[in-house]
Chain A
């Protein structure tokens, strides 16, 4: 035992699997063999304490003294709770559930003083015995027997009709779901059964209601039921501890903001983002006391953070002789987690709320700061910050437990600590501290790693909403409607808006990894080129605000590192941490990059991989990995073509059309912007929220596939595109363009909520693609569409021109004879004088570079040397 705390911690964890087998004196108890007539339910003294103690010989072999049964140092009534139970599980230790257990509300004092006889009410009657009687757990309407029966039935019978493959990969959908899960437990040995509350509700609404309202009573009952069932089925199974039921996705999923005092003590699922986690806190579950005089020892269970220290040794009757032996006490792990509202749930203009969550035992360290999680748990009853008669401050430094009554364990302490009110002042803050005890964590972004959209879980649309959306989708002009709802403040540019709309929907994700080709890009990338002041940035801002996982950066301000990922060293732990940049953050979203042309070449080159492979490879400071960056890129630039162009599916030029009718409409639009009231505007256009939902729904629920006709149409379209250029020796389309067409057609089918890509989708894709091409790939010198502008950033004629200049320059130099070096300016002037076409400095430089590439000459400063 190296350090007290580690050993203490170990004890709980080390309930090693081998134990049950070795401690078989405890054969399965027959029902009702002991003093309790209830069969399943027995009073506390035989419960976890016993089981844990029976482990003791292994763990604490150092201590030879026999461990006596803890005996009541306080009234047996205190112990008597229906929630502490024992199940016929062949001695598999029941593990305490601090997630539930520490939250008993009913004060013991009240139990006595209450007119209803606490004891009588507290006893839960087994159903078989008192079928007619309605005995329930005190303060609830839960009848343990019925409840248990119902749950067992649920486990045995529930078949999930709407199961999604992602969740239960290997399970047979036509068999009872949870029985399969129990099989799994027996194989894997992880004694946790996650139960979807939605399933419970579908099966038995009343049971669900009870689960939500009285989780502290119902979940232990569930535990009991599961264990009975499990050990009936697998009597020889060896588990670390008894199976614990972890319900999740309580339908009453709340955002943090809507929590109110009524939610206290109920089972709630909230979502949020982890912002801080504490270190591990060992929380005392059972205190071990030994008499200083006669070495008699006793154990006291921690009850709601309090330890009733025995004042008198029962063996030798010495008063105040009992001392706490910390390293024989039982601790469990606990961790404080600060959860913050997810940014999506926030009303505008307010700051996010935070909530404290406690994770217990194996949920400790399950989440990291930055994780988005759904937490299911109980909202803890408020602890009034009672002034403790005495503060027990050093609970955590485990060596200082000396005396004082009542003792408080770590939990109790901190609850009292914040109200460090001077005892002399006799006043308390009337504020409660609340927290969540987590029963289940569910990382919402977990499955992003596996390449699945998980938003289908997250975005629960109500049926009415879906109906509205479907109704909208059925309208013939839905495409036009949606595109005009996009950034209504920006005038016209209909095709650009349509393009962006398709980008928002995206293509269908296809997986060819089995044939070795990996994933096909489904994301549509768009570049907006145009004169300054044509509301490109505004469009980008709009898109950024529309999509949930959007990022907005400016080419000027971002470095390659800021876009991809960088490695930092945590100052505290000296641990390397990978920090992700905009591209990774916008995975499954849209990354808006403004001032694309101002970006350094270095940074831009990073985009190559992202835009085609949709991944980011990192090799930094010993961290080598590949991150998903399945992001669509919407970039804006002032006209300046370059090599990245071919990776954009659509390139639009935003120019001023300059015609009178357009001007008039534009003016009307702008002036209207300034005099219309909010309501008028809203009437005219689709609500942004509707648009958001529409897109989210389509993205998650619609994945269109190509129909036969559509494939034919695509092939024809591609062949046509190739033909256009072939006559002039120019290539006008590449396979990439075909892929673009497919994506666009798929996206258009998504807009219609159609599962099939049809010819009309292909037609629109073709039209849009052509429009974009017409705008951007028209060679300004010839007026022809020339796709090679997109691939080389230079039209074929320009390329030809460049070669000519280089040749002319070479000739000129050769004419000069055997001069080893030439003056740069001189050469430039000579070339200009000789050539009939105007030669700019850029052209001259380019020609020099071309010749340098041929190893014909080198340029150093202002001199040109021949080689």
Chain B
């Protein structure tokens, strides 16, 4: 048991110790016992309690200097006491001796964190289904106690906990509604959930923008932290020239704590993935991995069948879709991202909700995804590239500010003829850069700053997409159901939730597997390339080889193989050949069209 001194001098160590012990005994215990900001409504949580938050770093504020240690004077006894200023926002002012020489100035950094953009419903549902049960019983009592014991500043209606529980979702909704004047800066439109000011005390340099984090920390929601923005009188008195921060800036940096709580980090771990069905550190969990690998192939088969049905009987497209879904940028060579696999499914039926349904199906499979309708209006109006707002001194999110391995579904069937304005051109360029280089140039008004990303872009279009892509598959339906919508619904309904879960695990696992090429296979591949070029130099270019190497990699991984075998290479080659011949045929068809 750590002594109280330990707690004061080294709370982090104590907490780490507790963590270590817990993880030894039961991996899930630490997670499930700590209430999560993602699914427990804020007003259920006790201030200054330990909470966890699964989030993405949306913006990084300036470091702040604070009193790491300070001295209090007891007015009655005049005795001095040194206290720790970490993990809290406020100190009792009357007793603090501000002139004390024992004050230690420390530094910490604030990150503005939002829930992971585009997190699928099944994802948050899966998380909360574990947690929901617990808070309803164990957290409301706290509330009761609190409300009797002390006079809280938050005016909480004194209704019974059951009703609160049922009301929670709609309250959530209304809070995001009324926050329209207070922009919580979610990258994607229509997102909701708590944004959070995460205060990091150590090694903040290791965090990157758009990192996915799971943060454990002390919740701080004192209303005193909020900047009273709506108070007209106050803001008019506050001459902007007179303050260090403008009203906008204060609104952005000190939002109401009831909407944007503060979280003082005790422990933060970067997430490899945000799939709740898997242990968070998958590569370390050998037992889970080997267990799943044994049934991986059968799951792959089932998923392929499922996707084939979804893609109207086109097995080739389904194969490529799987490859696309498990692709991920695993390295970069100077500017070149390796491992990305942008897929363009052309030949999607227009004038039907097919693309929408397809996207929904993908959303059911991927932990986070977003569908972007490339309508002319959207392209000309949506803010895609994040932009620095110098007045408020914050990074205003754009649609392309996404966490790693988010699936971005571009629906080009929605694009109609018309004029792109300047914003539209910029947006298209940004999408093109995203696809080609896996980077987004954030707009800092005086300059641009490049942020590498890792986003799976899937383009659904009628003809060939106007955006660049790594691979294009023209959809060739073998079934033509009279009502596509109902057909797809029926397929979805036929899938058991347990199956869907398996698919979800499969897609994440396959993506995270390690991969290598042996010396021997390397030689074979080289030979093969030379051979192919000999016959017909036009048939294969350097770019084709690039693509084939990626396809071979993804194909191997999709079968759970972590090295490239000769068979794997040949399979990949064949797959590519089938695809290119189909594309060529398609071009011929189009060429003959009047």
Binding site for B on A (CB under 8 A): 107, 109-110, 260-261, 264, 273, 275-276, 278-281, 336, 338, 340, 343, 346-356, 369-370, 382, 384, 386-387, 393-397, 410, 413-415, 417-418, 420-422, 425-435, 487-489, 491, 533-535, 537-538, 541-542, 545, 554, 557, 656, 658, 660, 663-664, 666-668, 670-675, 678, 681, 688
CB atoms of B107 and A261 under 8 A apart:
yes
CA distance A273 to B447 in the complex (A): 10
Q: Which of B60, B239, B543 has the most chain A CB within a 10 Å cutoff?
A: B239
Instruction: Give me 17 A-to-B residue pairs in the complex whose CB atoms sit less than 8 angstroms apart, sorted by A's number.
Output: A275-B390, A278-B240, A349-B210, A351-B209, A351-B449, A354-B393, A386-B98, A397-B239, A418-B254, A421-B90, A426-B93, A431-B66, A666-B545, A667-B545, A670-B546, A670-B549, A673-B333
Interface check B238, CB cutoff 8 A: yes
CB atoms of B446 and A418 under 8 A apart:
no
Instruction: Pick the 7 closest A-B CB pairs, nearest first.
Output: A349-B208, A667-B529, A427-B90, A675-B517, A667-B526, A489-B333, A261-B105
CB atoms of B241 and A431 under 8 A apart:
no
For residue A391, which residue of chain B has the nearest CB?
A: B237
CA distance A591 to B425 in the complex (A): 20
CB atoms of A430 and B89 under 8 A apart:
yes
CA distance A354 to B450 in the complex (A): 18
Give the residues from 498 to 554 in chain B that come closer than 8 angstroms, CB to CB, to chain A. 516-517, 522, 525-526, 529-530, 533-534, 537, 541-543, 545-546, 549-550, 553
Closest CB in chain B relative to A250 CB, distance in Å = 21
B residues less than 8 Å from A678 (CB atoms): 331
CB atoms of A432 and B105 under 8 A apart:
yes
CA distance A491 to B59 in the complex (A): 38
Closest CB in chain A relative to B120 CB, distance in Å = 25
Give the residues from 24 to 74 in chain B that come closer than 8 angstroms, CB to CB, to chain A. 59-60, 62-67, 70
Tell me what chain A mostly uses at the interface: helix, strand, loop, or mixed.
mixed
Q: Which residue of B65, B254, B390, B447 contacts A434 across the interface (Cβ within 8 Å)? A: B65
CA distance A541 to B525 in the complex (A): 28
CB atoms of B537 and A658 under 8 A apart:
yes
B residues less than 8 Å from A110 (CB atoms): 99
For residue B103, which residue of chain A has the nearest CB?
A: A384
CB atoms of A656 and B334 under 8 A apart:
no
CB atoms of A343 and B242 under 8 A apart:
no
Closest CB in chain A relative to B513 CB, distance in Å = 15
CA distance A355 to B65 in the complex (A): 12
For residue A419, which residue of chain B has the nearest CB?
A: B224
For residue B89, which residue of chain A has the nearest CB?
A: A429
Give the residues from 203 to 241 in chain B that come closer than 8 angstroms, CB to CB, to chain A. 205, 207-210, 222, 224-225, 227-228, 234, 237-241
For residue B254, which residue of chain A has the nearest CB?
A: A418
For residue A562, which residue of chain B has the nearest CB?
A: B422
CB atoms of B105 and A264 under 8 A apart:
yes
CA distance A629 to B284 in the complex (A): 55
| Known interface pairs A353-B63, A386-B98, A427-B92; A281-B242 also in contact (CB < 8 Å) | yes
CA distance A371 to B346 in the complex (A): 48
A residues less than 8 Å from B336 (CB atoms): 489, 538, 673
For residue A273, which residue of chain B has the nearest CB?
A: B446
CB atoms of B224 and A427 under 8 A apart:
yes
Interface check B161, CB cutoff 8 A: no
CB atoms of A417 and B243 under 8 A apart:
yes
CB atoms of A671 and B237 under 8 A apart:
no
Interface check B178, CB cutoff 8 A: no
CB atoms of B107 and A260 under 8 A apart:
yes
Closest CB in chain A relative to B541 CB, distance in Å = 6
Q: Which residue of B225, B243, B437, B449 contacts A429 across the interface (Cβ within 8 Å)? A: B225
Encoded as 1 (CB less than 8 Å from any A CB) or 0, chain B from 328 to 359 comes to 00010111101000000000000000000000
CA distance A64 to B107 in the complex (A): 54
CB atoms of A393 and B237 under 8 A apart:
yes
Interface check B88, CB cutoff 8 A: yes
CA distance A308 to B125 in the complex (A): 61
Interface check B91, CB cutoff 8 A: yes
Summed over the interface, the residue pairs from A and B with CB atoms below 8 Å come to a total of 215
Q: Which of B62, B227, B428, B525 has the most chain A CB within a 10 Å cutoff?
A: B62
| Known interface pairs A353-B63, A414-B244, A667-B526; A545-B334 also in contact (CB < 8 Å) | yes
B residues less than 8 Å from A107 (CB atoms): 99
CB atoms of B449 and A338 under 8 A apart:
no
| Known interface pairs A427-B91, A489-B333; A533-B444 also in contact (CB < 8 Å) | no
Interface check B492, CB cutoff 8 A: no
For residue B105, which residue of chain A has the nearest CB?
A: A261
CB atoms of B436 and A537 under 8 A apart:
yes
CA distance A431 to B426 in the complex (A): 40
A residues less than 8 Å from B64 (CB atoms): 431-432
CB atoms of A656 and B331 under 8 A apart:
no
B residues less than 8 Å from A533 (CB atoms): 541-543
| Known interface pairs A417-B242, A433-B244; A656-B444 also in contact (CB < 8 Å) | no
Interface check B429, CB cutoff 8 A: yes
| Known interface pairs A396-B242, A660-B530, A675-B517; A428-B93 also in contact (CB < 8 Å) | yes
CB atoms of A338 and B237 under 8 A apart:
no
B residues less than 8 Å from A261 (CB atoms): 65, 105-107
CA distance A415 to B244 in the complex (A): 8
CB atoms of A420 and B227 under 8 A apart:
yes
CA distance A845 to B239 in the complex (A): 69
Q: Which of A387, A396, A688 has the most chain B CB within a 10 Å cutoff?
A: A396
CB atoms of B334 and A542 under 8 A apart:
yes
CB atoms of B242 and A350 under 8 A apart:
no
A residues less than 8 Å from B222 (CB atoms): 427
Closest CB in chain A relative to B237 CB, distance in Å = 5
Interface check B451, CB cutoff 8 A: yes
B residues less than 8 Å from A671 (CB atoms): 517, 522, 525-526, 549
Interface check B245, CB cutoff 8 A: yes
Interface check B395, CB cutoff 8 A: yes
| Known interface pairs A261-B65, A538-B335, A545-B334; A394-B390 also in contact (CB < 8 Å) | no
| Known interface pairs A350-B60, A386-B93; A554-B242 also in contact (CB < 8 Å) | no
CB atoms of B228 and A420 under 8 A apart:
yes
Closest CB in chain A relative to B521 CB, distance in Å = 9
CB atoms of A349 and B530 under 8 A apart:
no
CB atoms of B243 and A414 under 8 A apart:
yes
A residues less than 8 Å from B437 (CB atoms): 541
Closest CB in chain B relative to A727 CB, distance in Å = 35
Closest CB in chain B relative to A838 CB, distance in Å = 22
CA distance A488 to B332 in the complex (A): 12
For residue B553, which residue of chain A has the nearest CB?
A: A674
Interface check B316, CB cutoff 8 A: no
CB atoms of A557 and B241 under 8 A apart:
no
CA distance A557 to B424 in the complex (A): 10
CB atoms of A656 and B91 under 8 A apart:
no
CB atoms of A428 and B90 under 8 A apart:
yes
B residues less than 8 Å from A667 (CB atoms): 525-526, 529-530, 545
CA distance A276 to B207 in the complex (A): 27
Closest CB in chain B relative to A348 CB, distance in Å = 7
Give the residues from 77 to 128 in chain B that come closer than 8 angstroms, CB to CB, to chain A. 85, 88-94, 96, 98-99, 105-107
| Known interface pairs A338-B393, A382-B105; A350-B67 also in contact (CB < 8 Å) | no
A residues less than 8 Å from B542 (CB atoms): 491, 533-535, 656, 666, 670
CB atoms of B238 and A417 under 8 A apart:
yes
B residues less than 8 Å from A429 (CB atoms): 89-90, 224-225
CA distance A241 to B525 in the complex (A): 80
Q: Which residue of B205, B228, B425 contacts A347 across the interface (Cβ within 8 Å)? A: B205
A residues less than 8 Å from B239 (CB atoms): 396-397
CA distance A674 to B341 in the complex (A): 14
For residue B228, which residue of chain A has the nearest CB?
A: A420
CA distance A107 to B99 in the complex (A): 7
CA distance A352 to B448 in the complex (A): 11
CA distance A330 to B211 in the complex (A): 51
CB atoms of A430 and B91 under 8 A apart:
yes
Q: Which of B243, B445, B537 has the most chain A CB within a 10 Å cutoff?
A: B243
Q: Which of A279, A426, A538, A674 has the most chain B CB within a 10 Å cutoff?
A: A674
CA distance A273 to B388 in the complex (A): 14
